[in-house]
Chains A and B, each alone.
Chain A
Amino acid sequence: QVQLLESGGGVVQPGRSLRLSCAASGFTFTSYAMHWVRQAPGKGLEWVAVISDGETYKNYAASVKGRFTISRDSSKNTLSLQMNSLRPDDTAVYYCAAAHDSRWHTFDYWGQGTLVTVSS
């Protein structure tokens, strides 16, 4: 049974950092690119970042580039998102999603999300 379980969300002050994790199981982690997607309260989904199955390629949305870093540990089947210099508009539910390496544009599996609130 495929499972993606996000953790690490919480309330953080503007300018501070937070690290999200996503534990994957039930599928061949090394055959999938991994994404982070977020949804701010009352708004639609926004793609945040992607990392290739071999970690050689990473890309970010303009809104987070230079502040967020995506990484993965294939020995532990985990995905991470290091978020620095957080801003109030980063407040959102953050989802991790897996995309088979033959079609990165399709989010085959999703987690249930973890809430990040940036507020003083």
Chain B
Amino acid sequence: NAGVMQNPRHLVRRRGQEARLRCSPMKGHSHVYWYRQLPEEGLKFMVYLQKENIIDESGMPKERFSAEFPKEGPSILRIQQVVRGDSAAYFCASSPTSGTGAYGYTFGSGTRLTVV
């Protein structure tokens, strides 16, 4: 079991470009969570998805950010028209059940986005 796979590990984008971050959950996990970690700050919830459904996107900015978790393939976090303030580490976690279950969460190694 390869764990939660995120790619790319590092991503550099110029202001105004699009960033696509990918997350493949652990095998058998159907719940995916995205978090953002700004330098010297804690992890902030962005969005919670199950296959083909967005369950909670209350932590995601309403403009420029979107997320999906299709029936086939990885979950994608998409940031359009990136700005310098989007520079952060983006982490994905997966779980076989919701957070109220017995399994906890497994995190990926993150994607470090730098906007220049």
A binds B: no
Binding site for B on A (CB under 8 A): none
Binding site for A on B (CB under 8 A): none
